[in-house]
A and B are shown apart, each in its own frame.
Chain A
Amino acid sequence: MKKRIITLLILLCLVVTGVPSADASDDWYTYTYNYWGDETASPDAYSVTNVFYGRNFGDEVGTFNDAEGMFVIEDLVYICDTKNNRIVELQYNQGSFELIRIIYTLNVSLKNKDMMDPYELVDLSTDEKPNYKVWMQGENEIVLTLKSPYDIHVVKMSPEKREKMYGSDHLGEKYIPPVPVVEPDDDVTDTPEDGEAADTSATTSDSEDSADGDSDTEEPGEGEGEGEGEGEAEAEKEAPKVLENVIKKDLDRDYDIFIADTENHRIIHCDYNLNVIGVVQHPEDETLKEDYEFLPSKFVVDDVGRYYVQAKNINAGLMEFNKAGEFTTYVGASPVTVSLIQRLWRRIQTKEQWKRSKQYVPTEYNNVALDSEGFLYVTTSTLTEAELTSHNGKPVRKLNAMGQDILIRNGSSFPIGDVVWGDTEQVSGASAFVDVTVFENETYCCLDKTRGKIFCYDFQGNLLYAFGNYGMNAGCFANPVAIDRLDEQTLIVLDKKCGTLTIFAMSNFGKLIKEALDLYRIGHYDDSAVVWRDVLKYNGNYDLAYVGVGRALLRQEKYKEAMDMFEVVRDGTNYSKAFKKYREQQVEKHIVLFIIIIAVLFVVPKVIRTIIRLRKEIKEA
Chain B
Amino acid sequence: MSNFISRIIGFFTGEGFKRYLKTLKYSLYMILHPFDGSWDLIHEGRGSMAAAHTIVILALLTRLWDMRFANFMVNNTRWSEVNIIKELASVLVPLFIWVLANWCLTTLMDGKGRFKDIYMATAYSFTPYVLIGIPMIFVSNVVTLEEGVFYTYFNIFSLIWCVFLILCAMMMIHDYGLLKGLGSSILSVAGMAIIIFVVLLFFSLISDAVAYFISLYKEITLRAS
User: Which residues of A are in contact with B by a Cβ distance under 8 Å?
Assistant: 36, 567, 570, 572-573, 575-577, 579-580, 583
CB-based contact A576/B72 at 8 Å: no
Interface of A is mostly: helix
Chain B 31-57 interface residues, beta-carbon cutoff 8 Å to A: none
- Max count, chain B CB within 10 A of own CB: residue among A576, A577, A583: A576
CB-based contact B145/A572 at 8 Å: yes
B73 interface residue, CB < 8 Å from A? Answer: yes
CB-based contact A575/B73 at 8 Å: yes
Query: Which of B72, B142, B145, B148 is A570 in contact with, Cβ under 8 Å?
Result: B72
CB-based contact B142/A583 at 8 Å: yes
B223 interface residue, CB < 8 Å from A? Answer: no
CB distance from B118 to the nearest CB of A (A): 37
Residues of B within 8 A of A570 (CB): 72
Residues of A within 8 A of B146 (CB): 576
CB-based contact B78/A567 at 8 Å: no
CB-based contact A572/B78 at 8 Å: no
Chain A to chain B contacts (Cβ below 8 Å), 16 pairs:
A567-B72, A570-B72, A572-B72, A572-B73, A572-B145, A573-B145, A575-B73, A576-B73, A576-B144, A576-B146, A576-B148, A577-B144, A579-B144, A580-B144, A583-B142, A583-B144
CB distance from B146 to the nearest CB of A (A): 7
B77-97: contact bitstring with A at CB < 8 Å (1 yes, 0 no)? Answer: 010000000000000000000
Chain B 185-219 interface residues, beta-carbon cutoff 8 Å to A: none
CA–CA, A289 to B62, complex, Å? 66
CA–CA, A579 to B78, complex, Å? 22
CA–CA, A366 to B128, complex, Å? 56
CB distance from B211 to the nearest CB of A (A): 27
CA–CA, A580 to B142, complex, Å? 9
Residues of B within 8 A of A575 (CB): 72-73, 145
CA–CA, A36 to B144, complex, Å? 22
Q: Give 11 A-B pairs besides A575-B72, A576-B148 with Cβ atoms closer than 8 angstroms.
A: A36-B78, A570-B72, A572-B145, A575-B73, A575-B145, A576-B144, A576-B145, A577-B144, A579-B144, A580-B144, A583-B142
CA–CA, A573 to B142, complex, Å? 15
Residues of A within 8 A of B72 (CB): 567, 570, 572, 575
Residues of A within 8 A of B145 (CB): 572-573, 575-576
B119-151: contact bitstring with A at CB < 8 Å (1 yes, 0 no)? Answer: 000000000000000000000001011101000
CB distance from A565 to the nearest CB of B (A): 13
CB distance from B38 to the nearest CB of A (A): 30
CB distance from B164 to the nearest CB of A (A): 31
CA–CA, A532 to B142, complex, Å? 29
CA–CA, A466 to B144, complex, Å? 33
Residues of A within 8 A of B144 (CB): 576-577, 579-580, 583
CA–CA, A579 to B71, complex, Å? 11
Chain B 133-184 interface residues, beta-carbon cutoff 8 Å to A: 142, 144-146, 148
CA–CA, A573 to B72, complex, Å? 11
CB distance from B111 to the nearest CB of A (A): 40
CA–CA, A441 to B148, complex, Å? 35
Residues of A within 8 A of B142 (CB): 583
CB distance from A566 to the nearest CB of B (A): 9
CB distance from B131 to the nearest CB of A (A): 18
Residues of B within 8 A of A573 (CB): 145
Residues of A within 8 A of B78 (CB): 36
Residues of B within 8 A of A572 (CB): 72-73, 145
Residues of A within 8 A of B148 (CB): 576
Chain B 93-120 interface residues, beta-carbon cutoff 8 Å to A: none
Residues of B within 8 A of A567 (CB): 72
